[in-house]
Structure 1
Amino acid sequence: MDKIVMTGLQLYGYHGVFPEENAIGQRYQVDVEMYLPLDKPGTSDKIEDTINYAEAYEVIRRIVEEEQVFKLIEALAEHIAAVLLQTYVGIHEITVRVVKPHPPVKMFFDGVKVEIHRKRA
């Protein structure tokens, strides 16, 4: 299956288990892989035959930066996948990765990442 891949979306949100995460917020990185046939837009060269990734970015940005606060990045990833599948009926499958580069814990590492893969029912 063909796919459109959006990587390294840098967003600022207020998600987390700890109250200070909800008050101060932090940076998140989101990657999305949208699986859909791209033969039609490949031959038509028309934006209406594909997913406008600028619009998809705005959907993701609103979820991370403006919508409800999630305690877990697992829930944030799940919500991103569900909304994109609902918004763009052409997507057959989707993979969403959410990275929390600096979780407020006493550990030294490059952050934590969740990855989910969902298929249209």
Structure 2
Amino acid sequence: MKDIKHFLRQNSLRPTKQRVIIANYLFDGVNKHVTAETLSNKLLKMKAGISLATIYNTLHDFYEKGLLKKLMINSERIYFDTNTEHHHHFYSKKDQKLIDINVDMKVSGLPKPPKNKKINKIEVLVHLDN
């Protein structure tokens, strides 16, 4: 992405040094699935010097602005996806990796929603064994 500071401002985010570093990594044109911890490890290797709390807060800020998709695998693992288009995932617990499912799926046999409610969207997460 050419001008990450402009990109952040366009999305009503102040382009702090930390946000610019994180955004440059996340929005480099390659779709990524990250947790705060995996992103922290990547940035540590880059000697970025950004605290885990700042990374966590920045990921949530980006999510709130619609720049990331949030996927809760379980109560302990939240992934952020740079591909915000509707799609599904495989999850490998052993590798702790999400893999995009790039096919149009049809889901059938859904339960009827409660009275006065309607189904908004369906996201499929297929757990894998190795």
TM-score, normalization by structure 2: 0.27
TM-score, normalization by structure 1: 0.29
Task: Looking at secondary structure, tell me which structure has more helix per residue.
Answer: 1
Which protein shows a greater Rg? 2
